[in-house]
Amino acid sequence: MKNIFYSIAILFAALIYGCHNGEGNLSLSTMDNNTDFKFEAKYDENKTTKLEKYLDSALNNELPLDQNIDLFVNLNGDDKFNLKAKKGWLEINFDKRNSSLAGYMKVKKLTEGIKKKLAE
């Protein structure tokens, strides 16, 4: 009977450790070629509020990242990018063919800021 109790206790402890050890997961990917720039971030859902505050200040726009969103964000009139997001996931797609170099640089700077915020 003691062996069963100890086995259940060890299994329960391992389960709790595994659930809490999953925090801190971060996956960032960037694809940059002649025509497109794509950035994708998969992160802990508890960092959504921090990221939302960063994007709100960087873009002067309130974006509800805790909801499923798919929208175009204007940078400076002609330049825009597609932002898709939900809790724990964000994707930015920028079409270089129909945009300026300044717009591209702003998006790159924005994604670098996102990386820093998520790494904190």
Per-residue pLDDT tens, the chain, 120 aa: give them.
655 655 565 655 555 555 554 557 889 999 999 999 999 999 999 898 899 999 888 888 888 888 899 999 888 778 899 999 998 999 999 999 989 999 999 999 999 999 999 988
pTM (two decimals): 0.77
Question: How far apart, in whole angstroms, are the C-alpha atoms of residue 72 and residue 74?
Answer: 7
- Domains in the chain with CATH codes: 24-119 (3.30.70)
Phi–psi pair at 35, nearest 5 degrees: -115, -25
